[in-house]
Structure 1
Amino acid sequence: MDALNYLREEIKSYFFESTELQLSSAYANQRRFNFYFEIASGQRFLLYLSWEGDDERFTLKCLEFSDWETLKKLVDAYPETGSKAFNIGRPRSTISFFYLGKDRLSALDYKGVIKGHIDSNEISGRQLMGCINPFD
């Protein structure tokens, strides 16, 4: 899906130290709707991209964990256990949006700590990443 590939690449280019977490081959036949990204080593934040499955609607969250060590244990276990372990993370920032095309996203809902001021419902992928960036 073009939208998923675009969004995953936007995350990787904006957060250039980020790593997309990969599941083990035991999950290979299951369709993926959720994608997790460790933003940077030694940090307590994790990005969660969720495809709502029906259309081009997505949610991007920045999850915050109590400390880096806790997150590290969860990240290490993720390939075998899946995403349920990340439920202990607190949503710091959440943005729901529609994918309209490359670099064209229609923001639907903002919650939590959102950086910057968005004058329009349409934003770029880079603006989306800037809105949830926990380091600025």
Structure 2
Amino acid sequence: MDVPNYLRDEIKAYFPESSELQLSSAFANHRRFNFYFEIAPQQRFLLYLSWDGDYDRFTFKSLEFSSEEVLRALADAYPEKGSRIFNMGQPRSTVSFESRGGGRLSALEFKGIIHCDISAGEISGRELMECVDPLK
């Protein structure tokens, strides 16, 4: 399973107003690069997926910024400046997981404000979205 594309679809289904920030089309589907999604216009939250560099392990975060204006300025600068500009965002929710294939995700670690059953070992993409949803 291609985890980044699977989660892109899950993000778009769960957050229908979301939009992916594009650094370069050459990197859009390369798993070792991170991806970022604004979940809706006029929000101060950003979703972030990173590959941990080890097998099929990933970290999915909801980042919070001081204001929607700050996030908008950073998102506008992202294509040219890269992901380091988002370092000022504060992790609100973090879920580390491993892909088991076929849309099955094995949750490894939860941090921050989590809106799901953290005792569940396996979660779906939809449940992952619910876990980190900053609008709940």
Q: Same fold per TM (> 0.5)?
A: yes
The answer for unaligned runs of 5 or more in structure 2 is: none
Q: Is the 8 A contact 2:97 2:109 kept in 1?
A: yes
The 3-state SS of whatever aligns with 2:22 is coil
Distance 1:132 1:24 in 2: 26
The answer for the alignment partner of 2:10 in structure 1 is 10
What percentage of residue pairs aligned between the two structures are identical? 64
The amino acid across from 1:35 in the alignment is F
Cα distance in 2 for residues equivalent to 1:33 and 1:52 = 10
Return the TM-score normalized by structure 2. Answer: 0.91
The residue aligned with 2:135 is 135
State the distance in 2 between where 1:29 and 1:107 align.
26
Q: Which amino acid aligns with 1:65?
A: F
Q: CA RMSD in A?
A: 1.7
| Equivalenced residues, count | 134
After superposing the two structures, state which structure 1 stretch, 115-124 or 38-47, moved more: 115-124
Contact 2:52 2:59 survives alignment (8 Å): yes
TM-score w.r.t. length of structure 1: 0.91
Aligned twin of 1:105? 105
Task: Report the CA distance between 1:91 and its aligned residue.
Answer: 0.2
| Aligned equivalent of 2:72 | 72
- Structure 1, residues 62-119: CA drift from partner, whole Å, max 9, x if none? 0000000000000000011000000000000000000112221000000000013244
Q: Alignment partner of 1:73: what SS? A: helix
